[in-house]
Structure 1
Amino acid sequence: MKKYVRMLRVKHWLKNVLIFAPLFFGEVLFDYAMIAKSFYAFLVFGLAASVVYIINDINDVEKDRKHPTKCKRPIASGEVSIKAAWVFCAVLVLLVAVMSFAAVFLDLYSYVAVIWLVAYIVINLIYSKWGKHVPVVDVVLLAVGFLIRLYYGAQVVQVDISAWLYLTVLAGAFYLGMGKRRNELKNVSEGETRAVLRKYNYAFLDKNMYVCIAFAEVTYALWAMQSGHSGLMFTVPVVMVIFMKYSLNIEADDSEGNPMDVLLEDKLLLVCVFLYAIIAFFSIYVL
């Protein structure tokens, strides 16, 4: 059973925490009905994301077997056969469909949220089949995935998304995507599994990464100023430190630039994120 749980890549569900951003910043954090809806939506989205991961692993099985770390994944290592993986994937698709239908039927959230969920799956299937082989398009599709998480969460709790927050998430997503590509390019040999890496160069990715990080910090500061909560301005330097520490981590020679690994393996970075959450909470709900 553990091998099937590993196929879900639950660790990567951490990316879906962005779904809770509208709940938190929309000032409905103490609305228990909204909390329940958000957690339910998070679970459904996580299962949908796992469907995409499994399909991607099936499509890339031969390439993953040549990769130093991906070769340990259940499908690439042979622990789970491709046939069994497809069956498991079909069960997950059915589960996601039933849970989404139940959410609409029970009025947990509207069909619009389900449309965002379907859009996420479609975008990622396009990425898996074609987009990840096309430079720039691959990073754009990854960034769109982060935006969909944001708007999916907003639809669940019926909160509007500020244009500045939209731009912050978009720029931050571009930064993460190009950072991962840059480190893959830096650390791999000629036999690397991603053919798209041969179409990138280190200087291009490096320059555009830091354009995006600057843009994200500026738009975040503008969002904080216009949020109506003056205390949020104190989170701006914390956000800058988070970006700096993250950047320092992915500059390490042994880093592959995977956002989840970079975050979870650095206690200081986790402390900074926790500090950000505390300041933001007091600014919005206490002061």
Structure 2
Amino acid sequence: MTKYLKLLRVEQWIKNLFVFVPLFFSGNITNLDLLGKSIFAFVIFSLIASAVYIVNDYSDIESDRKHPLKRRRPLASGVISKSTAVAVFVLLIGLSITLVILGQYFFSQNFWKFTTIIGLYFFMNLAYTFKLKHVAIIDVSIIALGFVLRVLAGGYATGIEISQWAILLTFVLALVLAIGKRRGELINAQVSGKTRRSLDGYNVQFADIALSISCTLVIVCYLMFTLSPEVQAKFHPRVFFTVIFVVFAILRYLQQTLVYNRTESPTKIIYRDKYIQVTLVLWIAAFLLQIYFK
């Protein structure tokens, strides 16, 4: 069972929590109807994402076998056969299509918009898998757009309008994680050799500069989000002070990346770094206080 969970990369489903962003920032997290719609969208996105991961691992079997960590993936290591992986892929696609069709009964108002987002995410990631991941800068931009699509899907599923600053914040935050991952791969490549063609378009100095710019944009976008008229009107004005947690989390992430070189996988830092975990909990608690205890 564990090998199938690894094939689906269930630990990566944490990225799909961005589907809940519109619900959280709108102050409707306790609305059970909207929460149910967000969970439904989360499940669909998770199934589609796992299907894409299988395609990616299938196409990268040979290169993954040369990577010190990726060689342990089920397909690269041989614990799951190619035919089994194809069967699981077909099953995931079938389940995803079925749930999308059922989705018209959950969010009929924006059904076609939601379906378009799901389709765009799937085919964009197929293009990424077979071509675009080999093109420097475009590769990290595609990853960041994937997070934006998650947020848009959550908005269409619930019918909640999304702030422009929230969309831009999502993009630059995802860009930080993607660039941090590329930097980690560059550091690893110095020891074991390059395992990704797009790395030819990067070097550590460029990654450091791009990461610094992106981190600055994250702070600026979050600051502008908290100061925007609609947010100030919806929440208590002191929501502005939650920027403190964002700044600390960004600094901690930069420390892990630039000082300790520990962020080749952006999800690992969330699962392992207690400082960032505590900061996230405090940020969520502080933001909830602004929403529900004004």
Q: What per-residue deviation string (whole Å, max 9, x for no partner) do you get for residues 238-270 of structure 1?
A: 100011111111224452431110111111110
| Corresponding residue for residue 132 of structure 1 | 133
Q: What per-residue deviation string (whole Å, max 9, x for no partner) do you get for residues 184-208 of structure 1?
A: 1022236331121122111111111
Paired amino acid for 1:179? G
Q: 1:220 aligns with which of 195, 219, 222?
A: 222
Q: 1:255 aligns with which of 248, 251, 262?
A: 262
| 1:72 and 2:72 aligned | yes
Shift of 1:176: 1.3
Paired amino acid for 2:58? I
| 1:171 and 2:168 aligned | no
Q: Secondary structure at the match of 1:251?
A: helix
Q: How does 1:188-227 map to 2 (within 5 A)?
A: 188=189, 189=191, 191-226=193-228, 227=231
| Corresponding residue for residue 11 of structure 1 | 11
Q: How does 1:43-54 map to 2 (within 5 A)?
A: 43-54=43-54
User: In 2, Cα distance between the equivalents of 1:15 and 1:208?
Assistant: 22
| Corresponding residue for residue 245 of structure 1 | 252
User: In 1, Cα distance between the equivalents of 2:35 and 2:125?
Assistant: 27
User: In 1, Cα distance between the equivalents of 2:11 and 2:2?
Assistant: 14
Aligned length: 287
Contact 2:256 2:263 in 1 (8 A): no
User: In 1, Cα distance between the equivalents of 2:208 and 2:107?
Assistant: 46
Percent identity among equivalent residues?
32
CA spacing shift, 1:106–1:42, aligned 2, 3 Å: closer
User: In 1, Cα distance between the equivalents of 2:59 and 2:7?
Assistant: 14
User: In 1, Cα distance between the equivalents of 2:276 and 2:27?
Assistant: 26
Paired amino acid for 1:214? T
Shift of 1:124: 0.8
Shift of 1:43: 0.9
Contact 2:37 2:107 in 1 (8 A): no
| Corresponding residue for residue 25 of structure 2 | 25
Paired amino acid for 1:205? A
RMSD between superposed Cα atoms in Å? 1.4
| Corresponding residue for residue 103 of structure 1 | 103
| Corresponding residue for residue 36 of structure 2 | 36
Q: Secondary structure at the match of 2:141?
A: helix
Q: TM-score, normalised by structure 2?
A: 0.94
Q: Secondary structure at the match of 1:30?
A: coil
Q: TM-score, normalised by structure 1?
A: 0.96
Paired amino acid for 1:15? K
CA spacing shift, 1:18–1:106, aligned 2, 3 Å: closer
Residue ranges of structure 2 left out of the alignment (5+ in a row): none
User: In 1, Cα distance between the equivalents of 2:263 and 2:218?
Assistant: 22
| 1:267 and 2:274 aligned | yes
Residue ranges of structure 1 left out of the alignment (5+ in a row): none
Deviates more, 1:68-77 or 1:108-117: 108-117
CA spacing shift, 1:213–1:256, aligned 2, 3 Å: closer
Paired amino acid for 1:201? N
Contact 2:187 2:261 in 1 (8 A): no
Contact 2:75 2:81 in 1 (8 A): yes
CA spacing shift, 1:256–1:164, aligned 2, 3 Å: closer
Q: Secondary structure at the match of 2:291?
A: helix
User: In 1, Cα distance between the equivalents of 2:188 and 2:56?
Assistant: 22
Paired amino acid for 2:69? T
CA spacing shift, 1:143–1:28, aligned 2, 3 Å: same
Shift of 1:107: 4.2
CA spacing shift, 1:80–1:68, aligned 2, 3 Å: same
Contact 2:67 2:192 in 1 (8 A): no
| Corresponding residue for residue 243 of structure 2 | 236
Paired amino acid for 1:145? G
CA spacing shift, 1:107–1:174, aligned 2, 3 Å: closer
Q: What per-residue deviation string (whole Å, max 9, x for no partner) do you get for residues 7-57 of structure 1?
A: 111110001111101011112112111111111111111011000000000
Contact 2:107 2:157 in 1 (8 A): no
| Corresponding residue for residue 113 of structure 2 | 112
Spell out structure 1 runs of 4+ moving beyond 4 A.
106-109
